[in-house]
Structure 1
């Protein structure tokens, strides 16, 4: 993991951030990979998340966003899962 996890994404759950990702997703075909789009957006927002981190996050995410009613709810669910995973990375780095 090459991420400087102390910085993390800069408040990605803000409504504007979620709305921005939802707009991007809605502009793509229905077959767009929502998790990949959200991961890319979170990585672009954060200077501390490198490509290897994105790939690792992708492999670790287990989100069932299909149960959400709107794209915004799906995006929020995925962003929350990313934040939770990154918080776990912070704790692992602190452990001796």
Structure 2
């Protein structure tokens, strides 16, 4: 795992950020992989998340997007799951 800080992501979790991702998903084909779009966008926005981290996060995330009423809620759920996972990584790095 590379050096990363979950607060980088937390600072960007605003309604504008969520809406930006939702707009990107809507602009893609109907079968857009929302989780992939969110991960790709988060990685681009963060200086501390690299491709290896994105691939690891992709394998670890367990978000049921079907329970979200709107695309924005689905995006928010995915971002929250990413934040929780990164916080766990931060704790393990501090403990090491």
Count how many residue pairs are aligned between Structure 1 and Structure 2: 96
Where do 5+ consecutive residues of structure 1 fail to align? none
Answer with 5-14 or 27-36: which moved more.
5-14
Unmatched 5+ residue regions in structure 2? none
SS at match of 2:9: coil
Question: 2:30, 2:3 → 1: CA distance?
Answer: 31
Q: Secondary structure at the match of 2:29?
A: coil
- The Cα offsets for residues 31-79 of structure 1, whole Å up to 9 and x where unpaired, read as 1111000000111110110100000000000000111111000000000
Task: Note if contact 2:25-2:32 (Cα within 8 Å) is conserved in structure 1.
Answer: yes
Counterpart CA distance in 2 for 1:78 and 1:91 is 20
Greater per-residue helix proportion: 2
Q: Compute the displacement of 1:4 (Å).
A: 2.6
Is 1-10 or 26-35 further displaced after alignment?
A: 1-10
When normalised by structure 2's length, the TM-score is 0.92
The Cα RMSD (Å) is 1.4
Structure 1 runs (4+) deviating above 4 angstroms are none
Pairwise CA distance, 1:8:
3.3
Q: Who is 1:69 aligned against?
A: 69
- Is the CA contact (8 Å cut-off) linking 1:3 and 1:53 kept in structure 2? no
